[in-house]
Amino acid sequence: MDGIVMKASQKWKIERILYLALIPISYWFVLFFINTHSDINSLNMSLSNMTNKILLLIFFIVSMFHIRIQLGKVYEDYFKFNQMKTYSSVTDVVIGISFLIFLPVLFF
The whole-number pLDDT of residue 3 equals: 52
Q: Give dist(CA 39, CA 46) in Å, integer.
A: 11
**Chain centroid to CA 5:** 19
C-alpha torsion 38→51→94→1, nearest 10: -150
- Domains of the chain, by residue range, sit at 8-107
Mean pLDDT on 22-36: 89
Which residues are CB-contacts of 88 (< 8 A; sequence separation ≥ 6)? Answer: 4, 71, 72, 75
**Is pLDDT of 13 > 90?**
no
Q: Could you tell me the pLDDT band of residue 90, with boundaries at 50, 70 and 90?
A: very high
Mean pLDDT on 88-92: 91
Q: Could you tell me the pLDDT band of residue 5, with boundaries at 50, 70 and 90?
A: low
Mean pLDDT on 93-104: 88
The average confidence (pLDDT) of the chain is: 84
The whole-number pLDDT of residue 2 equals: 46
Q: Could you tell me the pLDDT band of residue 99, with boundaries at 50, 70 and 90?
A: confident
Residue 37 DSSP one-character state: S
Q: Give dist(CA 77, CA 4) in Å, integer.
A: 13
- What pTM was estimated for this model as a whole? 0.76
CA angle 37, 30, 66 (to 5 degrees): 130
The whole-number pLDDT of residue 24 equals: 93
CA angle 93, 94, 99 (to 5 degrees): 100
- Helix or strand or coil: residue 60? helix
Architecture of the domain made up of 8-107: Up-down Bundle (1.20)
